[in-house]
Chains A and B, each alone.
Chain A
Amino acid sequence: MGVGIQVENLNAWYGSTHTLHDINLHIPANHATALIGPSGCGKSTFVRCLNRMHETNPIARATGVIKMGDLDIYKDASPVEIRRRVGMVFQRPNPFPTMSIYDNVASGLKLNGFRNRRILDETVERSLKQAALWEEVKDDLKKKSGASLSGGQQQRMCIARALAVDPEVLLMDEPASALDPVSTSKIEDLIFQLKSQYTIVIVTHNMQQAARVAENTGFFLNGKMVEFDSTHKIFTNPSDKRTEDYITGRFG
C-alpha cells in the first residue's frame, strides 16, 4: 500500500546554486500527484530529494524534513533503505544492457542478494503484468536483452523493475517525454491503474498529461512551489497569476 509524504521546509543546492526554496507540501497516499513547471524550475530536483537520489551528486545537498508516514527519510533510514521503498522511473528508459528482460525486472531483488527462484519468477511475472508488458515479452524473458525492446517497452520494463521491489511510493520523472504517443498513452493508463496501490509522484512537461492522470498538481517556478491544489482547480481556476500564465501558455 502507498504511504503519504509530508515535506517541510525543503531546500536544495547544487554547489552554490540554490535550486529549491522552502518547499512545503503534503502528497496524499494512493493518489497520483503531478508536478508541472518550466524547464529548470526544480521539479526533478524535488523528486530526487524524495528518494535521496539528489545526494548521489557529490556537490548536491538538501535541508528540511521529508516524512513518509512517520519515517523521517533523512534521519531514520539510510539512502539505500529509502530507495527500496521509493521506486523511481527516469526520463529516458535505462535498462541494464547486459541483462535479459527477466534479470532486468528481477535486478532490484537479485542485486540485493535475493535468490529464491520461485519467488523471483512470481515477482517478475506479477511486475510485468502490472506494467502491462507480460503478454509482449513472456516468450523471450531470458532470451532477449532488455535493451532489445522498443523504447516504450523498455520504459514499461523499467516501471516493472521499479515495482518488483514492492515500493510504497513511485516517482516518475517525465516518464513519457522520450516516447511516442501510443507508448505515452499506455504509460498513462498504467499510472491510472497503479495509483490505487502506490503513491505516485509524476513530473511532467505535458499539462494535458497532468490533467489526465493526477488528482493533485503542484506548479513549480524558479525553485519555488507557487501553487498546490487539486488538478481540477489548478487547470480551471488557479489562485496564482503565475500559474494561470503558465497553463494558458503565456510563458514556459
Chain B
Amino acid sequence: MDFHSKSMRLNTLRRSVMNHLITALSILATLLVIAPLVAILVYLIYKGASSLNLAFFTHIPAPVGEPGGGMANSIVGSGIVLGLSSLMGVPIGIAAGVYLAEFGRGTLLANAVRFTADVLNGVPSIVMGIAIYSLVVMQQKHFSALAGGIALAIMMVPTITRTTEEMLATVPHAIREAALGLGVPKWRTAISVSLRTASPGIITGCMLAFARVAGETAPLLFTAFGNQFWSFKLNEPIAALPLQIFVYAISPYDEWHRLAWAGALVLIVLIMVSVTLVRIVANRGVLKGAS
C-alpha cells in the first residue's frame, strides 16, 4: 500500500484536525466549569474584600446605625453547627454505606435504605428545616445549635452513604478475599481493608456533603435560628454565617449589605480552606506506588 497517496494524507489531516477539535472542546468545557467559581470569587472579592478588617473576625454585629461590628459569633457558630453535623452525619453515613456495600447486598433492608437515601437527597432543605423544627425544636421548646446540627447532619447522610457504597463497590473482590483468606473476620475486613482502600473517594464524598451543607440557610432558619450575640451552648439559638448573611442581605441598610458581601466571601473561603486541609491531611502517609 502506498502510505503517501493523496487520500492517505487527507485521512491523516482529518484525524489531526479532529484530534485538535476534540481537545479544544474539552478544554472549553473545563473552562466553562471553572468560570462560574472564578466569577463568583472575583465578584465577592470585589464587593466584600473592602469591608473585611480585623473587627469583622473579632466583633459581634453592631446595632443598626452604629458603624463597625463583625461576624465573629457567626463564624464560630457555623463552626459549632457544622462540627456537630459532621460528628453525627459522617459516622452514620459511612456506617450505612458500609452496610449497603459489604453486608446487606440484595437484602430488603438494603434496598429500603438505598431508596430512602435517594429520596432524602431530593428533599428540599426548607422542608428539612420544618421537619426538624417540629421534631426537635417543638419538643425542646426552643431553637438550638443542636437542632441546627441535626438538620444539617440529616442532609449530609444520603450523600455520604451513597458515595461510600459506590466507592466500596470499586474495591476489587480479590482484595477482600485476600483478607478473608488470612483468617481476618468479615467485619474487620470491611473496616480495615475495604473501607481503607476506598477511603480517598469516601473522604471526597464527605467533603462534598460538608461543603454543600456549610452554605445552607433554609434548614437553619427554624432550628439554629441565629443569634446577634455570642453563644457557645448547644441548647441555645446560635449564629451561623449563612443566616447572618441572609439577615444582612435583606436589610435596607447599605452598611449591612457590604457586611453581607464580606460574610459571603469569608464563607466561601472557609469552605475552600477546610476542604483543602482535609485533603492534605488525608493524603499524608500515602505510600509510593499506592494505587
Contacts and interface: CB of A to CB of B under 8 A. Distances in A.
A158 B185 CA distance: 19
A71 interface: no
B126 interface: no
Contact of A108 (B106, B183, B196): B183
Contact of A165 (B105, B180, B182, B193): B182
Interface in B217-232: none
A56 B177 contact: yes
A147 B182 contact: no
B183 A112 contact: yes
Contacts of B106: 58
Given A94-B174, A94-B175, A100 B181 contact: no
Interface in A11-64: 51, 53, 56, 58
Given A96-B197, A98-B199, A83 B180 contact: yes
B37 interface: no
Contacts of B197: 96-98
Interface string A140-153: 00011101110000
Interface string B149-178: 000000000000000000000001011011
Interface residues of A, number: 35
Interface residues of B, number: 27
A189 interface: no
A90 B174 contact: yes
Contact of A87 (B172, B182, B185, B199): B182
B223 to A, nearest CB: 38
B184 A108 contact: yes
Contact of A144 (B179, B199, B287): B287
Given A90-B181, A158-B178, A161-B182, A98 B188 contact: no
B192 interface: yes
Given A53-B177, A94-B172, A98-B196, A80 B287 contact: no
B197 to A, nearest CB: 5
Nearest to B188: A111
Given A111-B188, A112-B183, A94 B289 contact: no
Contacts of A156: none
Interface string A75-108: 0000011111101101010111111100000011
Contact of A145 (B183, B199, B289): B289
B6 interface: no
B288 interface: yes
B99 to A, nearest CB: 15
B22 interface: no
A96 B193 contact: yes
Nearest to A101: B287
A141 B193 CA distance: 19
Nearest to B181: A88
A83 B181 contact: yes
B139 interface: no
A111 B179 CA distance: 9
A162 interface: yes
B59 to A, nearest CB: 46
Contacts of A108: 182-184
Contacts of A83: 180-183
B177 A148 contact: no
B291 interface: yes
Contacts of B291: 97, 145, 147
28 contacts: A53-B181, A56-B177, A82-B183, A83-B182, A83-B183, A84-B183, A90-B174, A94-B175, A94-B178, A96-B178, A96-B179, A97-B175, A98-B196, A98-B199, A107-B184, A108-B182, A108-B184, A111-B182, A112-B188, A143-B287, A144-B287, A144-B288, A144-B289, A145-B287, A147-B290, A148-B288, A148-B289, A149-B289
Interface of B: 105-106, 172, 174-175, 177-185, 188-189, 192-193, 196-197, 199, 286-291
In the complex, the 9 A-B pairs of residues with the closest C-beta atoms, listed nearest first: A148-B289, A84-B183, A108-B182, A145-B290, A83-B183, A145-B287, A94-B174, A88-B181, A94-B178
